[in-house]
A and B are shown apart, each in its own frame.
Chain A
Amino acid sequence: MALRFEVLGRFNRARAARLTLPHFTCQTPLFMPVGTQGSTIKGLTTDQLETIGCQIILGNTYHLELRPGSQLIDDLGGLHKFMNWKRALLTDSGGFQMVSLLHLADITEEGVTFQSPVDGKPMLLTPEESINIQNNIGADIIMALDDVVKTTITGPRIEEAMYRTLRWIDRCIAAHKKPDVQNLFGIVQGGLDPVLRDICVRGLVERNLPGYAIGGLAGGEDKDSFWRVVAQCTAGLPEDKPRYVMGVGYPLDIVVCSALGADMYDCVYPTRTARFGSALVPEGVLKLKQNAMATDERPIDPSCPCMVCKNYTRAYLHCLVTKDPMGSQLLSYHNLSFMARLSRDLHMSILEGRFPEFVRGFLRVQFPKGDVPKWVHNAMEVAGIDISECCTPTNCQHDAMEAAGVDISEFCPPTRCP
């Protein structure tokens, strides 16, 4: 094991922790930006990422193995040195890209067979090969190769994938050559089925891994199913090890998952939405492409201390977005600053004993009319956080009546029912 995880503060299930990795000591909850081709975040330098406050960056194993190749990276001293990033790195197994990017990916017991995008030759990614590549790359955290299925799929495939994931974790553990400097995380699968998820959690916990990820979510499932799976998994995973919800990046989702006891998140959303001209703000999303922005002399977010908000107006950014790469660059910078600040706010508010107030403040700004989605209510109830003051009185009344088993739908106009 090459990490230390110390819980410094709590509120019910939520925890603020110190995660000590070989290259960096991190504070959780934290958000990890995703690098694609060769692990660079599109448009940003490593100096900028450090200034923004990024703690861990995701390297993309599939892309790195394609170009420049993990052996070359190893020969040159590992990815940290290659990309000049002093802090922590995490690599995924390569499996997700296989399934999402490539058309004829076929999953067998041996591994994932796919057509090479370079020359169309059939190729095979096995658990052993994935770990070997990740050993070469040298990230602080590496991910097991799992059998990923979309959450929208039903039937026996999900069970098959869950059991295969457990068989593959043993192969990953056996293949891992550097457990003293790289932490292998297992990934909980099982679709939306609580029984399968439970079996998977127990199976992975038995292997006594340094950390655990909750996979197979953030793929189109309904929000109620999403939070329930997260809640179930966090309840079953060990207290003293980090919990990573893969693919989660909407600020609201991160706040809810943190309330339920998760610690780490990754998503392309902040950087991808930047490239489409959208900035993350406390109220939600600001679309810089809109015509109204052409004459708006305010910064993206007056409360944001980042370089972009300190220097630029919405009007100037409007003339850049979607027409000039600089627009994507500046918005990516701001959006990652936003996510880094969110991570810091989550950590500090839990540490300083004001987490419920933070959550309420967050929801009030995102939902000024009080229309907090029902799934958030449900999740916060389980998390033990009272958010009733963030909702409009009529909403609460409806909920109260529903809880009491009284049908008041005839008094409630359809459009106003949550």
Chain B
Amino acid sequence: MRFAVTKVCASGAKARAGLLQIGSSGVETPALLLSTRKGLPAFMSPDLLSSLPLPDSLLLNVCPTHFIEVPPSKTISNIGGLHRMLGLPDHILVAAAGESTECLPSSDATNKFGASFETPAGRKLVKPSDYMELISCLQPNLWASLADEVPAWVNEKRNKTSVERTLRWLDACIALDAASGRNSLGVVVGGSSIEQRKLCATEVSKRNVSGFWIGGFGLGESVEERCSLLNAVTVRIMFFICKLLLPR
């Protein structure tokens, strides 16, 4: 994976254009990840997907927890991973554990062992080891680490805990990754606290990650809050914005 900023705005503005290169596919950024159900965008089989504009429609957001029960990991590995299983060999598949329609983070049930999600197969607790087993058989191009994403209304203590767990799980995921984090996106959380957001971003950027997944948005914060929180976590390498409900 290679990413290069191709143009920055003048006078200190932060917006930038870039180029994300994965394998033989290159996508200009900013870019939108298409959301999927069990790997395919809703109602779009590969033949229909190929009629969407390229290369932008190559970027898909896949949720490993959609596959938490079936097919078995061994079967997915035998088939050859996500790209082969979905019939999308040239697409750029970016994996993240939670998403806003089929795998909502269930922060009340999350504990020190793992993150809880409301999946199509019921509520599931996903430990870093479970998550990395899925990642290793799915083999997405990029994967976000397992995170404890909490809604904006939790108390300070819970929010602080979510940052601690997210960092601990990031380390666990990297340790379990055969490529030692080479294709990982470290998740930055911190809810509505600017201080926690800054702390988390600083800590994540010390790890061996390829980029950043700014998580915990779309969970009750206001639009105004979001801007200042994003500002606080600006980092130098790359952004992936997760769960923004309104296009900006």
- Chain A residues proximal to chain B, CB less than 8 Å: 43, 45, 47-48, 51, 294-295, 297, 307-308, 310-313, 315-316, 318-320, 323-326, 329-330, 333
Binds A, one of B8-16, B65-73, B138-146: B65-73
24 A-B residue pairs with CB within 8 Å? A45-B48, A51-B47, A294-B70, A294-B72, A295-B71, A295-B72, A297-B78, A297-B79, A307-B45, A307-B47, A311-B86, A311-B87, A313-B85, A316-B85, A316-B86, A318-B70, A319-B38, A319-B69, A319-B70, A323-B120, A324-B37, A325-B43, A326-B40, A329-B45
Q: Which residues of B contact A324 (CB under 8 A)?
A: 37-38
In whole angstroms, what is the CA distance A326 to B48 when docked?
Answer: 12
Of all chain B residues, the one with the shortest Cβ separation from A327 is B38
Q: Which 6 A-B pairs have the closest CB atoms?
A: A311-B87, A319-B70, A315-B71, A295-B75, A315-B75, A294-B70
Is B179 an interface position by the 8 A CB rule? no
How distant is A297 from chain B, measured CB to nearest CB, in Å? 6
In whole angstroms, what is the CA distance A328 to B42 when docked?
Answer: 12
Identify the interface centre among A51, A295, A325: most chain B CB within 10 Å of its CB.
A295
In whole angstroms, what is the CA distance A27 to B74 when docked?
Answer: 46
Identify the interface centre among A295, A310, A319, A329: most chain B CB within 10 Å of its CB.
A319
Please, what's the 1-or-0 string for B58-93, where 1 marks a CB less than 8 Å from any CB in chain A? 000000000101111011101100000111000000
Q: Which residues of A contact B40 (CB under 8 A)?
A: 326
How distant is A320 from chain B, measured CB to nearest CB, in Å? 6
Q: Is the interface of A mostly helix, strand, loop or mixed?
A: helix
Is B46 an interface position by the 8 A CB rule? yes
Q: Which residues of B contact A308 (CB under 8 A)?
A: 45
In whole angstroms, what is the CA distance A311 to B78 when docked?
Answer: 15
Of all chain A residues, the one with the shortest Cβ separation from B36 is A326
Q: Which residues of A contact B85 (CB under 8 A)?
A: 312-313, 315-316
Q: Which residues of A contact B74 (CB under 8 A)?
A: 295
Q: Which residues of A contact B78 (CB under 8 A)?
A: 297
- The listed residue (A47, A310, A318, A325) touching B71 by CB distance below 8 A is A318
How distant is A264 from chain B, measured CB to nearest CB, in Å? 27
Q: What interface size band does chain B fall in?
A: 20 to 34
Q: Which residues of A contact B69 (CB under 8 A)?
A: 319
Q: Which residues of A contact B71 (CB under 8 A)?
A: 294-295, 315-316, 318-319
How distant is A299 from chain B, measured CB to nearest CB, in Å? 11
How distant is B231 from chain A, measured CB to nearest CB, in Å? 39
Determine whether the beta carbon of B79 is less than 8 Å from that of A329: no
In whole angstroms, what is the CA distance A297 to B74 when docked?
Answer: 11
Of all chain B residues, the one with the shortest Cβ separation from A48 is B47
In whole angstroms, what is the CA distance A355 to B213 when docked?
Answer: 62
Determine whether the beta carbon of B79 is less than 8 Å from that of A316: yes
Please name 12 further chain A to chain B contacts, defined as beta carbons within 8 Å, in addition to the given A47-B51, A312-B87, sorted by A numbering: A48-B48, A294-B70, A295-B71, A297-B75, A311-B86, A313-B85, A315-B76, A316-B71, A318-B71, A319-B69, A319-B70, A329-B45
In whole angstroms, what is the CA distance A326 to B79 when docked?
Answer: 19
Of all chain A residues, the one with the shortest Cβ separation from B87 is A311
Q: Which residues of A contact B46 (CB under 8 A)?
A: 307, 311
In whole angstroms, what is the CA distance A323 to B37 when docked?
Answer: 10
In whole angstroms, what is the CA distance A308 to B69 when docked?
Answer: 22
Contacting residues of chain B (105-131) with chain A, CB-CB under 8 angstroms: 120
Of all chain B residues, the one with the shortest Cβ separation from A320 is B38
Determine whether the beta carbon of A43 is less than 8 Å from that of B43: yes
Q: Which residues of B contact A325 (CB under 8 A)?
A: 42-43
Identify the interface centre among A47, A48, A312, A320: most chain B CB within 10 Å of its CB.
A312
How distant is B109 from chain A, measured CB to nearest CB, in Å? 22
- The listed residue (A45, A297, A310, A326) touching B38 by CB distance below 8 A is A326
| Contacts A311-B87, A318-B70; A326 near B45 (Cβ below 8 A) | yes
Please, what's the 1-or-0 string for B188-209, where 1 marks a CB less than 8 Å from any CB in chain A? 0000000000000000000000
How distant is B124 from chain A, measured CB to nearest CB, in Å? 15
Contacting residues of chain B (16-56) with chain A, CB-CB under 8 angstroms: 37-38, 40, 42-43, 45-48, 51
Determine whether the beta carbon of B43 is less than 8 Å from that of A326: yes
- The listed residue (A297, A310, A326) touching B42 by CB distance below 8 A is A326
How distant is A290 from chain B, measured CB to nearest CB, in Å? 12
Of all chain A residues, the one with the shortest Cβ separation from B40 is A326
Q: Which residues of A contact B79 (CB under 8 A)?
A: 297, 313, 315-316
Q: Which residues of B contact A315 (CB under 8 A)?
A: 70-71, 75-76, 79, 85
